[in-house]
Amino acid sequence: MTHVNDEGRARMVDVTEKERTSRSATAAGFVSMAPSTVELVRTGGCKKGDVLAVAQVAGVMAAKRTWELVPMCHPIALTGVDLSFDVREDGVAITGTCRCVGETGVEMEALTAVSVAALTVYDMLKAHQRDMVVQNVRLLEKSGGRSGHFVRTGSADARED
Protein backbone atom coordinates (compact mmCIF):
# COMPACT_ATOMS: atom_id res chain seq x y z
CA MET A 1 0.00 0.00 0.00
CA THR A 2 1.55 3.23 -1.16
CA HIS A 3 0.10 5.50 1.52
CA VAL A 4 1.17 3.45 4.54
CA ASN A 5 4.67 3.44 6.04
CA ASP A 6 6.55 0.49 7.59
CA GLU A 7 4.80 1.13 10.91
CA GLY A 8 1.35 0.95 9.33
CA ARG A 9 0.76 4.70 9.59
CA ALA A 10 -0.47 7.00 6.85
CA ARG A 11 2.17 8.84 4.85
CA MET A 12 2.40 11.07 1.83
CA VAL A 13 3.80 9.11 -1.10
CA ASP A 14 7.36 10.06 -2.07
CA VAL A 15 7.26 11.28 -5.68
CA THR A 16 10.91 12.34 -5.80
CA GLU A 17 11.87 9.76 -8.42
CA LYS A 18 8.74 10.10 -10.58
CA GLU A 19 9.10 11.66 -14.01
CA ARG A 20 7.68 15.14 -14.51
CA THR A 21 5.00 14.96 -17.19
CA SER A 22 2.16 17.09 -18.46
CA ARG A 23 -0.96 16.10 -16.55
CA SER A 24 -4.62 16.98 -16.85
CA ALA A 25 -7.85 15.98 -15.13
CA THR A 26 -11.48 16.87 -15.73
CA ALA A 27 -14.27 16.39 -13.20
CA ALA A 28 -17.99 17.18 -13.21
CA GLY A 29 -20.94 17.53 -10.86
CA PHE A 30 -24.48 18.82 -10.73
CA VAL A 31 -26.56 21.02 -8.41
CA SER A 32 -30.24 20.17 -8.80
CA MET A 33 -32.76 22.87 -7.99
CA ALA A 34 -36.28 24.07 -8.67
CA PRO A 35 -37.05 25.99 -11.88
CA SER A 36 -37.61 29.20 -9.89
CA THR A 37 -34.09 28.90 -8.47
CA VAL A 38 -32.63 28.22 -11.92
CA GLU A 39 -34.33 31.41 -13.07
CA LEU A 40 -32.40 33.39 -10.43
CA VAL A 41 -29.17 32.03 -11.89
CA ARG A 42 -30.24 32.83 -15.46
CA THR A 43 -31.44 36.37 -14.74
CA GLY A 44 -28.89 37.42 -12.15
CA GLY A 45 -31.66 37.82 -9.61
CA CYS A 46 -29.73 36.37 -6.67
CA LYS A 47 -29.38 38.96 -3.90
CA LYS A 48 -25.82 37.80 -3.13
CA GLY A 49 -24.61 38.57 -6.65
CA ASP A 50 -23.60 36.69 -9.79
CA VAL A 51 -23.86 33.04 -8.75
CA LEU A 52 -21.69 31.59 -11.50
CA ALA A 53 -18.98 34.26 -11.31
CA VAL A 54 -18.55 33.67 -7.59
CA ALA A 55 -18.63 29.88 -8.06
CA GLN A 56 -15.97 30.18 -10.79
CA VAL A 57 -13.57 32.03 -8.50
CA ALA A 58 -14.32 29.70 -5.58
CA GLY A 59 -13.55 26.64 -7.72
CA VAL A 60 -10.23 28.04 -8.91
CA MET A 61 -9.22 29.02 -5.38
CA ALA A 62 -10.18 25.58 -4.06
CA ALA A 63 -8.13 23.76 -6.71
CA LYS A 64 -5.07 25.78 -5.69
CA ARG A 65 -5.53 24.80 -2.03
CA THR A 66 -6.49 21.14 -2.39
CA TRP A 67 -3.29 20.04 -0.66
CA GLU A 68 -4.41 21.95 2.46
CA LEU A 69 -7.78 20.16 2.53
CA VAL A 70 -6.94 16.57 1.57
CA PRO A 71 -4.23 15.27 3.93
CA MET A 72 -2.19 13.08 1.56
CA CYS A 73 -2.24 15.43 -1.45
CA HIS A 74 0.97 17.09 -2.59
CA PRO A 75 1.18 20.83 -3.17
CA ILE A 76 1.02 21.18 -6.96
CA ALA A 77 2.06 24.09 -9.15
CA LEU A 78 -1.06 24.22 -11.28
CA THR A 79 -0.58 25.63 -14.76
CA GLY A 80 -4.29 25.96 -15.50
CA VAL A 81 -7.70 25.70 -13.86
CA ASP A 82 -10.96 26.29 -15.68
CA LEU A 83 -14.59 25.70 -14.79
CA SER A 84 -17.64 25.82 -17.02
CA PHE A 85 -21.31 25.91 -16.15
CA ASP A 86 -24.34 24.66 -18.05
CA VAL A 87 -27.56 26.14 -16.67
CA ARG A 88 -30.33 23.62 -17.30
CA GLU A 89 -34.03 23.61 -16.49
CA ASP A 90 -33.43 21.49 -13.37
CA GLY A 91 -30.08 22.80 -12.14
CA VAL A 92 -26.50 23.69 -12.93
CA ALA A 93 -23.97 21.26 -14.41
CA ILE A 94 -20.36 22.06 -13.53
CA THR A 95 -17.22 20.86 -15.30
CA GLY A 96 -13.71 21.63 -14.12
CA THR A 97 -10.30 20.95 -15.63
CA CYS A 98 -6.92 21.28 -13.95
CA ARG A 99 -3.48 21.05 -15.55
CA CYS A 100 0.11 20.89 -14.37
CA VAL A 101 3.57 19.66 -15.29
CA GLY A 102 4.72 17.58 -12.37
CA GLU A 103 5.33 14.28 -10.63
CA THR A 104 1.78 13.63 -9.49
CA GLY A 105 -1.69 13.98 -10.95
CA VAL A 106 -4.35 16.65 -10.62
CA GLU A 107 -7.47 14.51 -10.18
CA MET A 108 -8.06 15.69 -6.61
CA GLU A 109 -7.67 19.32 -7.68
CA ALA A 110 -10.29 18.94 -10.41
CA LEU A 111 -12.68 17.13 -8.04
CA THR A 112 -12.14 19.78 -5.36
CA ALA A 113 -12.70 22.62 -7.83
CA VAL A 114 -16.04 21.15 -8.94
CA SER A 115 -17.11 20.32 -5.37
CA VAL A 116 -16.41 23.81 -4.03
CA ALA A 117 -17.99 25.48 -7.06
CA ALA A 118 -21.12 23.38 -6.44
CA LEU A 119 -21.12 24.24 -2.73
CA THR A 120 -20.79 27.90 -3.66
CA VAL A 121 -23.80 27.67 -5.99
CA TYR A 122 -25.71 26.17 -3.07
CA ASP A 123 -24.51 28.87 -0.66
CA MET A 124 -25.43 31.69 -3.04
CA LEU A 125 -28.97 30.34 -3.54
CA LYS A 126 -29.84 28.75 -0.18
CA ALA A 127 -31.96 31.71 0.94
CA HIS A 128 -34.28 30.92 -1.96
CA GLN A 129 -34.16 27.11 -1.78
CA ARG A 130 -32.69 24.92 0.95
CA ASP A 131 -33.40 21.50 -0.56
CA MET A 132 -31.03 21.77 -3.52
CA VAL A 133 -28.84 18.69 -4.02
CA VAL A 134 -25.15 18.59 -4.90
CA GLN A 135 -24.74 15.30 -6.71
CA ASN A 136 -22.63 13.04 -8.84
CA VAL A 137 -19.24 14.70 -8.44
CA ARG A 138 -16.91 12.43 -10.38
CA LEU A 139 -13.74 12.21 -12.44
CA LEU A 140 -14.43 12.26 -16.18
CA GLU A 141 -10.93 12.04 -17.58
CA LYS A 142 -7.28 12.17 -16.60
CA SER A 143 -4.10 12.05 -18.62
CA GLY A 144 -0.38 11.95 -17.96
CA GLY A 145 1.75 9.98 -15.58
CA ARG A 146 2.52 6.31 -15.19
CA SER A 147 -1.11 5.14 -15.01
CA GLY A 148 -1.82 6.68 -18.42
CA HIS A 149 -5.09 7.96 -19.83
CA PHE A 150 -8.46 7.36 -18.14
CA VAL A 151 -11.84 8.23 -19.63
CA ARG A 152 -15.04 7.48 -17.71
CA THR A 153 -17.43 5.34 -19.68
CA GLY A 154 -21.18 5.61 -19.43
CA SER A 155 -23.54 8.53 -19.56
CA ALA A 156 -22.14 12.00 -20.20
CA ASP A 157 -25.14 13.49 -18.39
CA ALA A 158 -24.16 15.40 -15.25
CA ARG A 159 -27.10 13.96 -13.32
CA GLU A 160 -26.38 10.29 -13.84
CA ASP A 161 -23.64 7.88 -14.74
* Predicted confidence (pLDDT) at residue 110 exceeds the cutoff of 80: yes
Per-chain mean pLDDT for the chain? 93
- Catalytic option among 14, 86, 123, 157: 123
Q: Compute CA 24 distance to the chain's CA centroid, rounded to the nearest angstrom.
A: 12
- Residues in binding site for substrate: 72-74, 108-109
Give the mean pLDDT of 16-24: 92
> What pLDDT shows up at residue 11?
85
Each residue of 114-140: pLDDT tens digit?
999 999 999 999 999 999 999 999 999
> What pLDDT shows up at residue 161?
44
* Predicted confidence (pLDDT) at residue 71 exceeds the cutoff of 70: yes
Residue 161 annotated in active site: no
CATH code: domain 21-144 is 3.30.70.640
> What pLDDT shows up at residue 155?
62
Neighbouring residues of 112: CB distance < 8 A, sequence distance ≥ 6: 62, 63, 66, 69, 70
* Predicted confidence (pLDDT) at residue 18 exceeds the cutoff of 50: yes
